[in-house]
Amino acid sequence: MDVALDPRRYSIVDLIRRKRDGGAWSPDEATWIIEAYTAGWIADEQMSALAMAVFFRGMSAEELDPWTAAMVAGGVRLDYSDLDRPTVDKHSTGGVGDKITLVLTPLVAACGVAVPQLSGRGLGHTGGTLDKLESIPGWRGDLDSAQVRRQLLEVGGAIVAAGPDLAPADRKLYALRDVTGTVESIPLIASSIMSKKIAEGTGALVLDVKVGSGAFMKDLDSARRLARTMVRIGSGAGVRTVALLSDMSTPLGLTAGNALEVREAVEVLAGGGPDDVVELTLALAREMLAAVGVEADPAEVLASGRAMDRWRRLVRAQGGDPDAPLPTALETEVVTAPSDGVLERLDAMAVGLAAWHLGAGRVRKEDDVQAAAGVELHAQRGDEVRAGQPLLTLHTDTPERFAAARAALAGAVGVADPRSAAAPGPLLLGRVD
Ligand code: URA
């Protein structure tokens, strides 16, 4: 950050107006906005208006690249290039039931690659990896950079929270976007994710860009544009970046909720688990290994139990007890299938909202989450169901939440005649490099 920068070099009101009216900023102006906001020269209400203008008008590459570079430059930039092995990270744009990181990090570490996995907390209907792992008694994600480095050498993987000095402009701006309806913007999402990933010091990055009702990007076209934008920013900053597009119109796997998802991830590490979780984990693992030129077969490593060994070491290294029983909810309620037929639709957003209402997510950043709350699925799209059979089990410690969860699920389930039911679409929808 150039602290000698003149706060009055540009007029923030002129820059907001210009973007609002469809004009463009120079690279220097885009850089200045981030530097001035980080330094506290731009007020939150001005930045909110500017974010809304970006939401409607977008940003060109000439604006977004210096904007993202300034976000990286405003904080620390870690460097693992002297480590004894390559580094690669994965980032998902956020979904429902997405426990992939829990399996993928130890799996790729067991293949001989270091995985400095920077993770976040859930907000709104999407779950956060840190919240999930914190349901393991004793586990903590607030490691400093020396601890991360040591763990990468000893275990091969670390799942950690972003420190306050990593891309501090994103920390401020994301909190503002969250309360001003400006999250779902391609340039704002791309710069937010990529600034943290570039600053974290990974050599390569594989993105899992989610598409569908439970994702920020609802259609394939906008997901592909987001993927292309992030791949361009990453590659331009020297991080080899590849993106997979994956379906998020229905939850991933059979659980949405913190401890419920840890339990399912452990089932996958033990060689079982739902097919969709295994498929996406292996596809992302193959991309991560290819990105750093390591030849290993992740399916074989998963089947051998070596990924499970790494998981246990990773959990222990971060203070957790991999053998401790996971919390279970005090109360459960069952939602049954409305009729005989094939489950054609099980809406990701509705299930995510139900899990959130049950206590798995938070309303404000400061809120606690319930470790055991969430939704367990007894069927997935394409399965045959009978009227009255259990379809979902709702878990919570606070039963007064059941009504809101049930209301969120109204209209979420579609059961069709087997002769006319549409077959479930593919999980993997594209690749951008
Ligand atoms: N995740 C982030 O880190 N930032 C966004 O803007 C959206 C998802």
Work out the percent of the chain whose per-residue pLDDT is above 70: 98
CA 304 / ligand 1 centre spacing (Å): 35
Pairing of strands 240-247, 428-432: antiparallel
Active site residue 310: no
Give 260: exposed, middle or buried? Use CB within 10 Å, 0-12, 13-18, 19+. buried
Residue with tokens 């549409």: 422
Specify the residue with its C-alpha closest to ligand 1, atom 6.
189
pLDDT of residue 51: 98
Q: For the chain, what is the mean pLDDT? A: 95
Decide: 189 in ligand 1 pocket, CB within 6 A. yes
Decide: 242 in ligand 1 pocket, CB within 6 A. no
Regarding the domain delimited by 88-317, which CATH topology (the fold level of the hierarchy) does it fall under? Pyrimidine Nucleoside Phosphorylase; Chain A, domain 2 (3.40.1030)
pLDDT of residue 3: 45
Residue with tokens 């002297």: 82
pLDDT one-digit tens code per residue, 254-263: 999 999 999 9
Active site residue 196: yes
Distance CA 142, CA 67 (A): 28
pLDDT of residue 2: 53
Distance CA 169, CA 47 (A): 11
- Do 3-73 and 88-317 have matching folds? no
pLDDT one-digit tens code per residue, 365-395: 778 899 999 999 999 999 999 999 999 999 9
CA 147 / ligand 1 centre spacing (Å): 25
pTM of the model: 0.95
Regarding the domain delimited by 3-73, which CATH topology (the fold level of the hierarchy) does it fall under? 1.20.970
Sketch the domain layout of the chain as residue ranges: 3-73, 88-317, 331-416
Does 155 score more than 60 pLDDT? yes
Decide: 94 in ligand 1 pocket, CB within 6 A. yes
> Which of 336, 353, 358, 83 has the alpha carbon at shortest distance from 214?
353
Q: Name residue 414's beta-bridge partners.
A: 345
Name residue 111's amino acid. C
Does 4 score more than 70 pLDDT? no
**Average of per-residue pLDDT across 4-16:** 84
Specify the residue with its C-alpha closest to ligand 1, atom 2.
193
Please report the DSSP string for 78-97 in residue order: ---TTSSS-BEEEEE---SS
CA 49 / ligand 1 centre spacing (Å): 19
Work out the percent of the chain whose per-residue pLDDT is above 90: 88
CB 252 within 8 A of CB 96: yes
Does 344 score more than 60 pLDDT? yes
Strands in 129-203 per DSSP E: 157-161
Instruction: State the closest ligand 1 atom to the C-alpha of 94, by its place in the atom list counted from 1.
Output: 8
CB 240 within 8 A of CB 234: yes
**Average of per-residue pLDDT across 111-124:** 87
Specify the residue with its C-alpha closest to ligand 1, atom 8.
93
Residue with tokens 């904080």: 75
pLDDT of residue 24: 98
Does 151 score more than 50 pLDDT? yes
Decide: 214 in ligand 1 pocket, CB within 6 A. no
Active site residue 192: yes
Active site residue 79: no
Of the candidate CATH numbers 3.30.420.40, 1.10.490.10, 3.40.50.1370, 3.90.1170.30, the domain formed by 331-416 belongs to 3.90.1170.30
161: which residues sit within 8 A by CB, 6+ positions away?
Answer: 118, 119, 120, 121, 130, 141, 142
Helix (H) or strand (E) holding 109: helix 100-110
Decide: 191 in ligand 1 pocket, CB within 6 A. no
Say which range, 110-119, 175-184, 359-368, 413-422, has the weakest mean pLDDT.
359-368
Decide: 217 in ligand 1 pocket, CB within 6 A. no
pLDDT one-digit tens code per residue, 213-233: 999 999 999 999 999 999 999
Active site residue 170: yes
Which of 19, 132, 177, 313 is an active site residue?
177
